[in-house]
Structure 1
Amino acid sequence: MGLATSRRGFLRAASGLLVAVALPLKTRAQDAAAEAAVPAAPAVPPGAFIHVAPDDTVTVIVKHIEFGQGPLTGLATLVAEEMDADWSQMRGALAHADDALYANLAFGMQGTGGSTALGNSFLQMRGAGAAVRQMLVETAAEAWGVPPAEIAVARGRISHPSGRDSGFGAFAQAAAQRPVPAETPLKPPEHWVLIGTDLPKLDTAEKSDGRAQFTLDLYPEGVQVVVIERPRSFGATVKSWDDADARQVAGVRAIRQLPQGIAVYADSTFAALKARAALKVEWDLSAAETRTSQALMAEMTAAAREAGRTVEESGDLSGLDAPGVTLLQAEYSFPYLAHAPMETLDGVITLSDGRAEAWYGCQFPGLDRPAIARTLGLPVEAVTVHVMLAGGSFGRRAQGSAHFAIELAEVAKAGGNGSYKLMWTREDDIRGGYYRPMTVHRLRGAITPDGRIAAWENVIANQSIVAGTAMEMMMQDGLDPTAYEGSINLPWTFGGHRVAWRRVDGKVPVLWWRSVGSTHTTMATETFLDELLEAVGKDPVQGRLDLLRPDATRERAVIEAVRDLAGWQGSKQGDRGYGVAFAKSFGTYVAQIVEVESRDGQPHVTRAWCAVDCGIPVNPNIIRAQMEGGIGFGLGAILHSTITLGENGAVQEGNFDDYPTLRISEMPQVEVTIIRSDEAPTGVGEPGVPPIGPAVANAWRALTGQRTRALPMIQAGGVV
């Protein structure tokens, strides 16, 4: 087919050590710093996680997709540490779809999301590395006729005091015949050599020189390129269509109606797009969402003004209505947001003799593989999904509905045996839905005459992401925790507080967006908190420290660390405003301070400081990169990005000219400090995003007095 070698072919051709070790999620070593033996591993086929080749290279098979967040490097670090390998010999490869081997221990199925990749694999991959090391040591000891206890391993070399010395590869084949050890001690932290050091990412060189293979690079022999004409109004269906002009385009193979719209099959992307532009399609809008963003926002605002279902409540809320208190109120509105990763959705699928094989940046193989099988009427065992590198996701590829996998299968189902490459253009991507939900927060806070925050209430109205999808299992008693996460379990001490959710159903498809609910909840809660602190005459940083619960030690550490890193001297210094914000998301604690100046009456962020506590910092280089990337991603969204539904509910934006994100000239100078910790590691792919928005809004208010109540901050009419 002209594709890069598959993982299956790689394993078939290899002649080295192939080993699998799977560990249960909860063990005594859940405290990652503990010296604990790994329990016996469940029986799994060989070749799942580690391949040691005759040339001494060690390839780690990674069960999480790599789209820039670093699991190829992070999980390889864990294996290398326990094997005592040299970093130069480490390699990484993505696992194919197989729940039995590669289930995310946090999900129970194969998938990447929620910043779980490193945390849920921390013990599993260390255990695999330790087992391989022991198997190699025992093999070398047997070959040399010495006790295993006399064997040393360092920097990828196996040695004995007698002078014998070898790389891993020489013993790989023999070691592969040994049983996987039932118990393998893990290295204590004081013996770590690689964990906690700045290691270069394994995939940087290949991505830089073009060797890395993305789905866009795949063009199997005889492949047909497919694009689909979809409705501009969500929920619309095909009423009639005329393809006479489209069929005249050279290179067009076929034009077919699919459940998703009208699909053009052609010999090239150019021909497919030219033919699609020539289609004449009339859409039935009777079941479509035809309201404008303004109308939808009005509905959301009205919902937030109702009581909602309580999701968290404690203390005395009577302070909200008590005589003599000062009551502050605010409503925050958040628009739909597209993910807009650099690589849009695309996939290759081959259908032949009752089998299907697909290649694409698949974030949830555990959902996508069975979805492809159901659509094609095949058993799951007849479907192979190769997980490719992806050019970003930010949540776009994490689809509870498996809608792209289904669409890919529909293309093959309609076309029959053959190879097909389904392409989404940038316009398809921006207008295709699956946005961060439109959301409204209504906050009330009561301040007593002596300057205490007596009560706090937050009512959140938005659409559920998981309702009606395969991920509906995440709902708890009809509540979608991703809709309001980041608004509960706050570390602040209030006299009383209540958080409520109002579910507002709609026809605009929504999806997780990088850091999910915390993107809007942190913006609302941290800006409102800042206003309350201002009302009682408190410094934003010291006021937060004073409000912390006594047990909030990790929260205190990051706030104090970012205060010191930024050299905090107050919220306004000359022509610069300074803002602070804190968020805990996905188990990771992040505090940020920004410096903002006014340029032509609009906010420009010149500097940003960030403190992060993500438990054991496996690779500080990746942690800093993810914090920097999260700051840039979040900053672009809060300054510029919005999805607008116009006449008949049609999305107005289509590309980066009208859906702008952050430009290089707008990226601030960023400094990151990492809190050293012996807590179990947590994720960093998302937690850098939530604090940046409120930090900027707080700085802008300190500088100009303007409150941010709606996003984006910079709109056609100026600052909101």
Structure 2
Amino acid sequence: MSRGLLEAFNSNIASPEAGQEGEGAVSHRQTGISRRSFLKFGMTISAAAGGGMLLGFSIPAVAAEANAGWARKSVIGGDASDEPKGGVFAPNAFIRIDRNGMVTLVMPKVDMGQGVYTSIPMLLAEELEVPLSSVTLDHAPPDDKLYGDPLLGGGQITGGSTSIRYAWQPMRQAGATARVLLVAAAAERWRLDPASCHAQAGEVVHTATGRRIGYGKLVDAAAKLPPPHDVPLKKPEAFTLVGKPTDRLDSAEKADGIARFGFDTRLPGMRYAVIVNSPVLGGTLESVDDARARKVPGVQDVVKIENAVAVVGAHTWAGKQGAAALDIKWNDGPAAKLSTQQIASDLAEAAKRDGAVARKEGDVGKTFGAAATRVDAVYEQPLLAHATMEPINCTVHVRPDGCDVWVGTQVPTIARAAAAKVTGLPPEKIAIHNHFLGGGFGRRLEVDAIVQALKIGKQVDAPVKVIWTREEDIQHDMYRPCYYDKISAALDANGKPIAWQHRIVGSSILSRFAPAVMKNGVDPDAVEVAADLPYDLPNQLVDYVRQEPGTVPTAFWRGVGATRGTFVVESFIDELAAHAKTDPVEYRRALLTHSPRAANVLDVATRAAGWGNPLPPGQGRGVSVMHAFGSYLSMVAEVTVNKDGEVTVNRVVCAVDCGMAVNPKTIEAQMEGGVVFGITGVLWGEITIKDGRVQQNNFTDYRMLRINETPKIEVHLVQSTEAPGGIGETGTAVLFPAITNAIFAATGKRVRKLPVGTQLKTA
């Protein structure tokens, strides 16, 4: 999800304090921070059942007083059965410290590869003064009031690159408050002034005498103390953990196979259902002859729902073999003739309409009329699949008195609401057991597969795991929308843009996902980046025309608005530089006088990449700049284009100013993953439709970047005094135009339509 969406959600919350702009760069390390002041905290302390201290905090934007049960105790990515008894005050995140001194963080976010199961505990451990190894995690249960993210409208959602932005102040404040209480409890026991004691490595120490006592022995006394107010947080120079490159806590589990993903769910008596969806998007089931399928060894049942058939078996192989034996007749419905060509034609026709205005500055019409030069371009981007490493799956057990759902989801409360609707059960009778996500990228913001699994589970008297094959996964995804952009600039005599007009035509995800944020016909995500450029452009008109691609379902895809918007804007800026016969870096720098952080990352990236140094024939460098998710990035890509038009990305250099870097290793990993994901998307990613059917069905025809094709990737973290910005989606978004601009530098051919594919092949 997008920065524009976050701003729409967050319009009633004051802005952070202004900080100094970042200057200089330090590779893989970052220092300095300015305190955010826009969150105010209510602190509560209560005794945990069975002894111990329970500390929570509330963010007034979303939290309210209520009683709620604790999440089921779980290891990272798994489930366990021990549940603390009794109610607690309803904050949106918790610390629990038991009598053994173990700290439990009830995690409101889920991990899908972005590393938050390390970086968020780092914030807590820093202020609490405990080793990171002593912090364990429980997945939070579904509860928007307890665990809602104010940056995402108060929903319990992992997305929008908000996890660290959400946790930055509250987690440190909660840790610091707990620390002060523990020190006070020790001082009271020793009858000393608390100022003479300090916390260190999970203990309270009396400096003068050297007396020590572990947190576990203090929790009962600490829980009875009144909560302090306005506890000061550490200064950055005092950090011992935050800002230091830290190995991820979940790496070992994922490497040795202990980590549990949704696909790893195993339950006594569980059955396996292999799904066959209608091949036409929006089609329905007419009839099915399942006689042959029922004869397959291991097949136990065949279940029908409105748009799919599931073969239920004792194991996956039985389900897969039974599915292949089905004789199904489908009602194709109105999408029977839908094609990519028709969708593209509809987008182009829709571009002739005036759109809903997303930004209007100055007098664009008058300026264009008086301009010396006008440059026009059309950019087109295709439907894209998520193609997550872990295919879609969901395990359910639907009973008359309750329902359990085992899944990896980015939206546990939305998942529970969907389950309540399908089963007719009250929400409190539905348990969502969340897991590691084997890739999210926005796909697991959707609950279509969960709903489908529940409809099947209602007809099976046992736990049932519903599995989508890779073919079903790719052919029935919720796709990144296709877009059609008309963009124009009026230039003065020196080639500088003095007017800018940009029309965005495409699907509206938010009209379905969060209709309340749609204002005056504008989808904030669709116009992300485009409506808030870092460049100094005195006259601007940006508008949006909604045009849905028939029955094709659309959804978020690793920074939808930022990814599509940055490709268009940064490609067009490069075109204007070429038209002005000016170096692309110098052209951008001249337009960034009012955005010093953007100018700085541009300088850092281009210096590190050796911008201006000659390259052999057939090679080129491209550059891009982006401000999104509260972060500033610039990327330089080096490519080779051979005589057959095939593109190889040789090197990518990225400069990142995301404010304070909690864990530099996580940021580097996210940049590297974003680059790999982005290369796949820009060079080959495309879903095409013929006769209402998706034509791609596996990695054989939906190509992925291979490990031997991965370029050298360099990440340079820029010093900043700002609070953290988002990072998970940024690397993919800023990469697209860096590659296509590099292709232009290498070949002189401008890429305006994605994917690059075969369009560079010579005749």
Q: TM-score, normalised by structure 2?
A: 0.86
1:315-342 deviations in Å (ceiling 9; x for gaps): 2323675367332222111110001110
Instruction: Provide the C-alpha distance between the structure 2 equivalents of 1:267 and 1:179, rounded to a whole number of angstroms.
Output: 57
Pick aligned residue for 2:413 from 366, 388, 395? 366
Instruction: Provide the C-alpha distance between the structure 1 equivalents of 2:49 and 2:714, rounded to a whole number of angstroms.
Output: 46
Please give the secondary structure, in 2, of the residue aligned with 1:623: helix
Please give the secondary structure, in 2, of the residue aligned with 1:703: helix
Partner of 2:80: none
Partner of 1:58: 103
By how many angstroms is 1:59 displaced?
2.7
Partner of 2:533: 490
By how many angstroms is 1:259 displaced?
3.0
Partner of 1:18: 54
1:14-70 deviations in Å (ceiling 9; x for gaps): 86443322234699xxxxxxxxxxxxxx97259952233444332322100111111
- In structure 2, relative to structure 1, the CA distance for the partners of 1:554 and 1:661 (3 Å cut) is same
Instruction: Provide the C-alpha distance between the structure 1 equivalents of 2:588 and 2:508, rounded to a whole number of angstroms.
Output: 31
Write out aligned runs for 1:303-702 (5 A).
Answer: 303-318=350-365, 321-322=368-369, 325-399=372-446, 402-416=447-461, 418-469=462-513, 471-505=514-548, 506-548=550-592, 550-569=593-612, 574-599=617-642, 600-646=644-690, 648-702=691-745
Contact kept, 8 Å, 1:319 with 1:325, in 2: the verdict is no
**Code of the aligned partner of 2:415:** D
**Code of the aligned partner of 2:649:** V
1:393-417 deviations in Å (ceiling 9; x for gaps): 1110012xx322322221222225x
Partner of 1:196: 243
Pick aligned residue for 2:312 from 258, 265, 272? 265
Instruction: Provide the C-alpha distance between the structure 2 equivalents of 1:330 and 1:85, rounded to a whole number of angstroms.
Output: 56
**Code of the aligned partner of 1:541:** V
1:102 aligns with 2:147: yes
Partner of 1:33: none
> What is the aligned-residue RMSD (CA, Å)?
2.4
Instruction: Provide the C-alpha distance between the structure 2 equivalents of 1:46 and 1:56, rounded to a whole number of angstroms.
Output: 22
Partner of 1:708: 751
Instruction: Provide the C-alpha distance between the structure 2 equivalents of 1:449 and 1:269, rounded to a whole number of angstroms.
Output: 68
- In structure 2, relative to structure 1, the CA distance for the partners of 1:351 and 1:175 (3 Å cut) is farther
**Code of the aligned partner of 1:69:** Q
1:511-570 deviations in Å (ceiling 9; x for gaps): 00001112111111111110111111211111101012x431211121111122212216
Partner of 1:6: none
By how many angstroms is 1:72 displaced?
1.0
1:264-299 deviations in Å (ceiling 9; x for gaps): 221111111111111111111233353111121121
- In structure 2, relative to structure 1, the CA distance for the partners of 1:571 and 1:23 (3 Å cut) is farther
By how many angstroms is 1:625 displaced?
1.0
Instruction: Provide the C-alpha distance between the structure 2 equivalents of 1:321 and 1:347, rounded to a whole number of angstroms.
Output: 55
- In structure 2, relative to structure 1, the CA distance for the partners of 1:262 and 1:148 (3 Å cut) is same
1:129 aligns with 2:172: no
Pick aligned residue for 2:286 from 228, 233, 239? 239
1:67-88 deviations in Å (ceiling 9; x for gaps): 1111111110110111011233
| Alignment length (residue pairs) | 690
**Code of the aligned partner of 2:357:** T
Instruction: Provide the C-alpha distance between the structure 1 equivalents of 2:92 and 2:51, rounded to a whole number of angstroms.
Output: 11
Contact kept, 8 Å, 1:82 with 1:186, in 2: the verdict is yes
Instruction: Provide the C-alpha distance between the structure 2 equivalents of 1:468 and 1:715, rounded to a whole number of angstroms.
Output: 35
Contact kept, 8 Å, 1:78 with 1:126, in 2: the verdict is yes
Partner of 2:118: 73
1:646-678 deviations in Å (ceiling 9; x for gaps): 2x2111111111101111122111111111212
Contact kept, 8 Å, 1:22 with 1:128, in 2: the verdict is no
The more displaced of 188-197 and 236-245 is 188-197
Unaligned runs of at least 5 residues, structure 2: 1-46, 64-86
**Code of the aligned partner of 2:683:** L
By how many angstroms is 1:392 displaced?
0.8
Q: Which has the higher contact order (CA 8 A, sep 6+)?
A: 2
Instruction: Provide the C-alpha distance between the structure 2 equivalents of 1:319 and 1:46, rounded to a whole number of angstroms.
Output: 54
- In structure 2, relative to structure 1, the CA distance for the partners of 1:688 and 1:144 (3 Å cut) is same
Write out aligned runs for 1:89-168 (5 A).
Answer: 89-106=134-151, 107-160=153-206, 161-168=208-215
Identical aligned residues as a percent: 36
Instruction: Provide the C-alpha distance between the structure 1 equivalents of 2:164 and 2:210, rounded to a whole number of angstroms.
Output: 38
Instruction: Provide the C-alpha distance between the structure 1 equivalents of 2:596 and 2:736, rounded to a whole number of angstroms.
Output: 24
Instruction: Provide the C-alpha distance between the structure 2 equivalents of 1:719 and 1:132, rounded to a whole number of angstroms.
Output: 67
1:217-251 deviations in Å (ceiling 9; x for gaps): 11100011122211111111111211111111122
Pick aligned residue for 2:298 from 251, 257, 282? 251
Contact kept, 8 Å, 1:437 with 1:463, in 2: the verdict is yes
The more displaced of 595-604 and 666-675 is 595-604
Instruction: Provide the C-alpha distance between the structure 2 equivalents of 1:665 and 1:645, rounded to a whole number of angstroms.
Output: 30
Instruction: Provide the C-alpha distance between the structure 2 equivalents of 1:423 and 1:237, rounded to a whole number of angstroms.
Output: 19
Please give the secondary structure, in 1, of the residue aligned with 2:444: coil
Instruction: Provide the C-alpha distance between the structure 1 equivalents of 2:722 and 2:453, rounded to a whole number of angstroms.
Output: 42
Please give the secondary structure, in 1, of the residue aligned with 2:551: coil
By how many angstroms is 1:571 displaced?
8.1
By how many angstroms is 1:179 displaced?
5.1
Instruction: Provide the C-alpha distance between the structure 1 equivalents of 2:637 and 2:366, rounded to a whole number of angstroms.
Output: 33
1:332-387 deviations in Å (ceiling 9; x for gaps): 11110001110112122223341112121111112111111111101111111122
- In structure 2, relative to structure 1, the CA distance for the partners of 1:716 and 1:677 (3 Å cut) is closer
Instruction: Provide the C-alpha distance between the structure 1 equivalents of 2:257 and 2:627, rounded to a whole number of angstroms.
Output: 37
The more displaced of 70-79 and 48-57 is 48-57
Unaligned runs of at least 5 residues, structure 1: 1-10, 28-41
- In structure 2, relative to structure 1, the CA distance for the partners of 1:53 and 1:649 (3 Å cut) is same
The more displaced of 228-237 and 281-290 is 281-290
Instruction: Provide the C-alpha distance between the structure 2 equivalents of 1:306 and 1:46, rounded to a whole number of angstroms.
Output: 48
Instruction: Provide the C-alpha distance between the structure 2 equivalents of 1:193 and 1:712, rounded to a whole number of angstroms.
Output: 45
Please give the secondary structure, in 2, of the residue aligned with 1:494: coil
**Code of the aligned partner of 1:163:** G
**Code of the aligned partner of 2:524:** P
Please give the secondary structure, in 2, of the residue aligned with 1:64: coil
- In structure 2, relative to structure 1, the CA distance for the partners of 1:498 and 1:368 (3 Å cut) is same
Please give the secondary structure, in 1, of the residue aligned with 2:612: coil
Instruction: Provide the C-alpha distance between the structure 1 equivalents of 2:60 and 2:663, rounded to a whole number of angstroms.
Output: 24
Contact kept, 8 Å, 1:64 with 1:111, in 2: the verdict is yes
Partner of 2:12: none
- In structure 2, relative to structure 1, the CA distance for the partners of 1:561 and 1:289 (3 Å cut) is farther
**Code of the aligned partner of 1:542:** E
Partner of 1:3: none
1:217 aligns with 2:264: yes
Please give the secondary structure, in 2, of the residue aligned with 1:295: helix
Contact kept, 8 Å, 1:233 with 1:290, in 2: the verdict is no
